[in-house]
Structure 1
Amino acid sequence: MNTSLILLFLILVSIHFSTYAQRDFLAASCTPEELDDMLVMNQKWVEYPDYSNREAWDTLLGSHKLSLIENGQVYLDYEWQVVKATDYLDYSRTGNRQTMQDPYFDNQDAISALILAELAEGKGRFLDQIIDGVFMNCEMTSWVLSAHFKISAKEVKNHFPDINENLIGLYSSQTGAMLSWAYYFFKNEFDKVNPLISERIQFEVKKRILEPYMNMNYWWTALPPYTKNKPKVNNWNPWCNANVLQCFMLMENDKEKLAEAVYRSMQSVDMFINEDKDGACDEGPGYWGVASGKMYDYLSLLEKLTAGEISIFDKPEIKAMAEYVYRANVGKGWVVNFSDASAKAKGNPYFIYAFGKAVASQDMMHFAAYLKEENPETTIAYKRDIDRALRNATISEALESTTPVFKVPEYSWYPKTEYCFMSNKEGLFVAAKGGYNQENHNHNDVGSFIFYVNATPIFIDTGVGPYTAKTFGPDRYTIWTMQSNYHNVPVINGVAQSPGAIFKATNTRFYKTKKIFSTDISKAYSENAAVKSWVRSYQLNKNGLLIKDKFSLSEILEKNQINFMTWGEVDVKTLGKIKVKANGAYAELVYDKKQFTPTLELIELREEKLTNVWGNKVYRISLTANSLQKEGAYTFQIKKIK
């Protein structure tokens, strides 16, 4: 074999093993038979004290004991709410999810707080209310949200609970996990009252979670038969699997059955990890805690159940997924919020510290301490998540002794997701994206950007309002916040971007030495736009951001329009310069006054989800080209004003 053939062979082998090394981390770590020998049975993996060990609980909870008790006391006289039939029906009738979700979540918040309070105090004061909460949940026909029921084969919307069908969704699995923890900690106390209480929990968790997980195929598992159609795996996968795993670990003591369920879950979570491209969470930092964060929950539980035999926290891919949460953080509570995520996200410092410790990320641990310093009122309690709350307690002292540091990385580049974040010492930060228009929680925003001055957004991604039936239905892109018209991208020949996987960026590049991000966004528009190429580039320099658009059209239909979303105080009076002041930060958008005519559109906000971030209004600045051109170039500068 000659030298060139040997080299080619080595390259192919390298590619093969590199690809293989990034897939099926969990299932490849052991056989089902080997897993059977690894399992720590009969809940001996639980690292928390028995309910009766008061001294150990006092030590574990420390200064958090009082706040947990106080949180629980709020619910001592709580009236458990009935989720009515018409509450479910309202989703089909009006698209309103909250009618059903509000009483359901209020109940789950109550039982979660009561469980933690009783564990903290240990005097039995909260047990009757916990029993009532358990009974209330067990009496429900379904734990699934109205919005999460399937649509039947007849295309009739079936958002009503069916007693013959036990679906596993985000919150049904979470309720199962919460009741499983109640069973584990309080079984002896329940039995003193009436053994039927514990028996009922066992019956319901088995019927609603354990049996259907093994006997039904759900799209979110991404297991056969869904693998044939290669489903799009999203945060449902780790979220549901982490909850289901808790149910099995706490309620199933048949070793053979437990091993079979755990291995199935390992194969399923592998699908989520395999789907991840480069660590970026395309659902945004606000979803990170229930995407990559739920993957951490799952992996942490699996590590305990196997006495550390199965642990993949040393994989660089897992570390990249973990560190996204701080790399997408700008400071002062602001985050990069492409897709449905909010522009503000506090993040839970205890949870972030724990994940950071697991993947040996000093940056994450110091960032967690920074978040704790920024929000000292943050407690270990985690709504409707007993496992996270108790795990938070185990790392509380370590977090408190960690030096708070948050240094924005100079750049973060995700070449497959096509996210690029750049910052400089002058307090400027830009996030830009390529991607495609069928990402998880997608907005039509290929080529868009967000620009920050001193950790304050100036040119923004508005985010999304409250979820309704329309949000995840065929009318999603009739919602203005989803449309490219209301993102920082052009309207080409009078045409906005289209939804769908084929509408995407091409030739996306990042030149780190020059801090230039470049992408061709022409393929994000339909044929009606008659655009052959539209290369947009962002270059971050010392004093601002340089934006260039170089385009070529096959025909001229309408004048191009370049949009910029912003908030605060906007002044468009001076031609060629637009001044923006937001939360004490100042910037100036400079454009060629001979090329463009500016207009300013005020958009009033009414949804609380948006007003909590931006106040009661945002603005769209539209720069409409004064001339029609088949080919040309536009240049814009955004300057920081001291």
Structure 2
Amino acid sequence: MRSFESLNSDNSEALSGLGTLKLPDISDRSFWESLPADYREERLKLAEDAAAKDWPEILMSDYLRFSHDGNRTYFEDRFFTRRRMLTSLVMGECIEAKGRFLRKIIDGIYLILGETTWCLPAHNSYIRDTRQFTIPDTSRPVLDLFSGETAAILSVAEALLRPVLFDESPFISTAIDNALHERVIAPYLRFHFWWMGNGLEPMCNWTPWITQNVLLTAFTRPVDTDSVRATMKAVTSHADDETTFSNRRMSSVEIAERLRDRNGRVEPPDWRTEHWHPCDDELSKIYRSAVKSVHHFLSEYEEDGCCDEGAQYYSHAGLCLFGCLSILNDISHDTEKPWSGSIKEFAADETKIRNIANFISKVHVGEDYYINFADCSPHAGRRGAREYLFGALTHDDALMNFAAEDYRSESWTERLNPSEENLWYHLLNARCHERMMNQASDISALVTPDAWFPSTGLMVTRDTHYVLAAKAGDNADSHNHNDVGSFILYKDNRPFIIDLGVGSYTQKTFSKDRYDIWTMQSRYHNLPSFYDTDGRLLMEHDGEEYRATEVSCRMDETHSILSMELQNAYPGLDGKLQRSVIFNKDSVLGDSTVDDGSCEEISYEEKVVIIKDHYDGKLKFEENIITYEKPVLEDICDETSLSERSGTDISRTKASRQAADGIHDEIHRNQYIIKVGNTGKLHAFGFSEITVEELPITDPRLGETWKHSCYRIKLQASEEDVSLIFS
């Protein structure tokens, strides 16, 4: 860990040379009209779709759903829809500049300004991992992920539309700026939220995500300089003596005659508009605090750059780190000199940052599939401008090619991603669209090498047909599932052996009862379970002490092998549990066959992925394998050929076997051949009985990936040494 003495020191001296973040506002027609016609057309379609919708109503009773019944989605659907609509409308107005969407935009701005809080009910607490308050305290706004996100949306929207908003009324920008100060900037400068870092507890994606959005909020505001104050004074005052033109001394008719503007309005000089803009001292404090937080975040990563929250959270961890670095670089006027200026603060972490950046390409399977341990979906999002620019910042041509190639393969909906609410990301997309579309394709740069991440014990290895990932590590990852020792297998870019991911977030998801949720448990991962004589189940447990030991990873051009001891992952397990994950790459396959001691030889071509487990305890030992396609028994190998059973559903195997000439000897039932849909086969050795459990997918979030039921194959071991061979 980094020493935090210097990070936590307080230096209140104002910095010099900090500028505002330069954005192309609506008056910059050279930028907006230079966008390709098809891009502008598709953006306008999204704006028109948003304009046709009604703004969602949000009630306090919707907010209270979380504390009353644990439901997050009812409130959040309405909350996020407002922000997505506003973002689409702002992009459309900037592209067209005809005022067609302006009234709808102003409605959206004031609806969001009128919300009691911008903090989600699931985040409404001040101290980490403590119970949420049911009602927000408006005198102490909580700065959570989506307070920051909302502030960033409003601040970028105001910056882009400032000229036309001012023409409508200067009070629109005033209302936005004052709300940003009250709800985000003032709390940020007043209170040390846990995610800001202190060197005493682990950080996660909250740190760069909120820090990025605070930087966007602060550094898109006009700075409170003497010239700004003079301008505002000229707008709101017509006399040096505020009391001269007061209703205390002068009639309304006389005041109106003297001070009425050309539109007939009068600004009372004895009650001026209060319009917050950041001063140099505030910006310096924000800058320093942001730099400290980024350092705290980076200290959580090892040099390998692995995101233990998974590929899906890379978008909020690694890419928001990019956001912080990019903004810090821009406001220090070093946009042409990456790794200089403000981000020279992080020069010591240059290699680590580069590895954080390209992590996403190393866990890419193919098409839109990614390796997905923890609370991560295998559909972890498509790549685009932020990855491309992160590659440019870190001088990683392969990452730039990876992002551009994926972007070009996407539909317009995927490219423009209307489900993303952060307006700044859409602006980056507009800036980079042509560059990504015209990026020269470099096929050699798209070949992803094997990866080993010692910080988390993650191995990702591949050949021309298979991608295999296996995880050692511990059960204390951010967004952890109890999955030490589990593995995932894809064949020809299709899911073969899977990790289910996580269902819709509820109150229970981040509570002490998290591991009562079935998708979090080791028995619903590709791992063993154990039962005592009374049938009590033993699974893995959460916590850093529940971990793999004796971990060894070896990878070369022909083989990859990850081996580990898993006894410590199971509380009170009475014996050794050794697992080896072996991958024989296609470069070594030939026509030879291998005798595994079974009654049927398996060709070497079929021995692609091998899982070998050894357990020397006394408990009942059961393997679990999770599949997407339905497993069907193809053959049982024993002394009498049972190949005529080909096509038998595994769920009926036990009854069928009992009727088959009284064959009960376990040694005759130690090889099973299971066909998993049309994807591949599983050869199982050392098991006495196999059953299958259908896993209906009823949760909406799981259903986004898994369009039908998934399956758990349960294999009861009859020997200390068992093998699972996938082909």
- TM-score by shorter chain over 0.5: yes
The separation in 2 between residues aligned to 1:333 and 1:25, in whole angstroms, is 43
Q: Partner residue of 1:234? A: 204
Among 383, 391, 414, which residue is 2:428 paired with?
391
Partner SS, residue 125 of structure 2: coil
Structure number, greater radius of gyration: 2
CA distance 1:353–1:317, change in 2 (3 Å)? same
Check if 1:550 corresponds to 2:589: no
Q: How many Å separate the matches in 1 of 2:168 and 2:386? A: 35
Q: Who is 1:367 aligned against?
A: 402
How much does 1:126 deviate? 1.4
Q: In 2, are the aligned partners of 1:349 and 1:369 still within 8 Å (CA)?
A: yes
Match of 2:290 in 1: 265
User: 455, 458, 482: which one pairs with 1:416?
Assistant: 455
Q: Deviations over 1:93-138 (max 9, x none)?
A: 1111011111111111111111111111112221111111111111
What SS does structure 1 have at the residue aligned with 2:489?
strand
1:455-478, CA deviations, whole angstroms, 9 ceiling, x for partnerless residues? 112111011111111111111111
Q: What is the CA–CA distance in structure 2 between the aligned matches of 1:608 and 1:246, rounded to whole Å?
A: 33
For residue 623 of structure 1, the aligned residue among 691, 715, 718 is 715
Q: Match of 1:231, as an amino acid?
A: E
Hey, what does 1:563 align to over in structure 2?
A: 624
How many angstroms apart in 1 are the aligned matches of 2:104 and 2:682?
A: 58
Query: Which of 245, 262, 270 is the aligned partner of 2:215?
Result: 245
CA-to-aligned-CA distance 1:16-58 (integer Å, 9 cap, x gap): xxx86xx889969x99689823412xx3x41x33322323321
The residue identity in structure 2 corresponding to 1:310 is S
Equivalent in the alignment of 1:589:
682
> What pairs up with 1:58-97 in 2 under 5 angstroms?
58-60=33-35, 63-97=38-72
- Tell me if structure 1 keeps the 8 A contact 2:128–2:194: no
Question: Within 2, Cα distance between the matches of 1:175 and 1:283?
Answer: 23
Residue 635 (structure 2) pairs with residue 574 (structure 1) = yes
Q: Are positions 1:523 and 2:568 aligned together?
A: yes
Amino acid at match of 2:707: G
Please, which of 217, 223, 229 is the counterpart of residue 192 of structure 2? 217
Q: Is the 8 A contact 1:491 1:563 kept in 2?
A: yes
CA distance in 1, matches of 2:204, 2:159: 30
Give the Å deviation of 1:499.
Answer: 1.2
What's the offset of the Cα at 1:190?
2.0
Is 1:602 equivalent to 2:634 in the alignment? no
- In structure 2, the residue matched to 1:191 is 166
Contact 1:611 1:617 in 2 (8 A): no
Q: Map of 1:205-604 to 2, 5 A cutoff? A: 205-223=180-198, 227=199, 230-251=200-221, 253=223, 254-277=279-302, 278-308=304-334, 309-311=341-343, 312=346, 315-377=350-412, 378-380=414-416, 383-404=420-441, 405=443, 407-425=446-464, 427-493=465-531, 494-513=537-556, 514-527=559-572, 529-531=573-575, 533-542=576-585, 543=605, 544-553=608-617, 556=618, 558-572=619-633, 574-575=635-636, 576-582=671-677, 584-585=678-679, 587-592=680-685, 595-604=687-696
On the 8 A contact 2:630/2:710 being kept in 1, the answer is no
Q: TM-score, normalised by structure 1?
A: 0.88
Amino acid of the structure 1 residue aligned with 2:565: D
Structure 1 alignment gaps of length 5 or more: 1-18
Structure 1: how far apart are the matches of 2:83 and 2:675? 43
Residue 85 of structure 1: how far off its partner (Å): 1.1
In 2 relative to 1, CA 381–433 (structure 1 residues): closer, same or farther, beyond 3 Å? closer
Q: CA RMSD in A?
A: 2.5
Q: Secondary structure at the match of 1:74?
A: helix
Residues 384-432 of structure 1 show CA distances to partners (whole Å, capped at 9, x for unaligned) of 212111122222222112244474534100011111001123x111100
Deviation of the 1:89 alpha carbon: 1.1
Q: 1:344 to 1:580 in 2, by over 3 A?
A: farther
Judge conservation of contact 2:122–2:132 (CA < 8 Å) in 1.
no
In 1: Cα distance, 2:447 partner to 2:389 partner:
20
The residue type equivalent to 1:379 in the other structure is R
2:611 aligned partner, one-letter code: I
Contact 1:61 1:120 in 2 (8 A): no
Check the 8 A contact 1:421/1:431 in 2, yes or no.
yes
The correspondence for 1:36, drawn from 15, 21, 25, is: 15
Does the aligned pair in 2 maintain the 1:408–1:423 contact within 8 Å? no
CA drift at 1:156:
6.3
CA contact under 8 A between 1:445 and 1:489: conserved in structure 2? Answer: yes
> C-alpha separation between the residues in 1 aligned to 2:131 and 2:208?
29
Distance 1:65 1:24, change over 3 A: farther
* Alpha-carbon distance between aligned partners in 1 of 2:675 and 2:14, rounded to the nearest angstrom: 59
Aligned amino acid, residue 320 of structure 2: K
What is the Cα deviation at residue 70 of structure 1? 1.8
The CA distance in 2 between the partners of 1:149 and 1:499, in whole Å, is: 25
Shift in alpha-carbon separation, 1:242–1:580, aligned structure 2, 3 A: farther
Note the C-alpha offset of 1:320: 0.6
Change (3 A) 1:38 1:509: farther
- What is the CA distance between 1:637 and its match in structure 2? 1.5
AA partner of residue 343 (structure 1): P
For the residues of structure 2 that align with 1:92 and 1:401, how far apart are their CA atoms?
A: 50
Residues 1:39 and 1:31: Cα distance change in structure 2 (over 3 Å)? farther
C-alpha change, 1:155 and 1:31, in structure 2 (3 Å) is: closer
Note closer, same or farther for the CA distance 1:155–1:57 as it changes in structure 2 (3 Å cut).
closer
SS at match of 1:162: coil
Deviations 1:362-381 (A, max 9, x none): 22122123212331423346
Pair 142,31 (structure 1): closer, same or farther in 2 beyond 3 Å: closer
8 A Cα contact 1:24 1:274, kept in partner: no
* Residue pair 2:484, 2:569 contacting (<8 A) in 1 also: yes
SS of corresponding position for 2:470 = strand
Structure 1 CA distance, aligned partners of 2:164 and 2:192?
36
Note closer, same or farther for the CA distance 1:27–1:398 as it changes in structure 2 (3 Å cut): farther
Distance 1:357 1:580 in 2: 45
What is the CA distance between 1:636 and its match in structure 2? Answer: 2.2
- 2:27 maps to 52
1:182 aligned residue: 157
Whole-angstrom distance in 1 between the partners of 2:183 and 2:93 = 26
Q: Is the 8 A contact 1:568 1:580 kept in 2?
A: no
Letter in 2 for 1:588: K
SS of the counterpart of 1:330? Answer: strand
Structure 1: how far apart are the matches of 2:173 and 2:119?
Answer: 22
User: Structure 1 residues 317 and 602, CA, compared in 2 at 3 Å: closer, same or farther?
Assistant: same
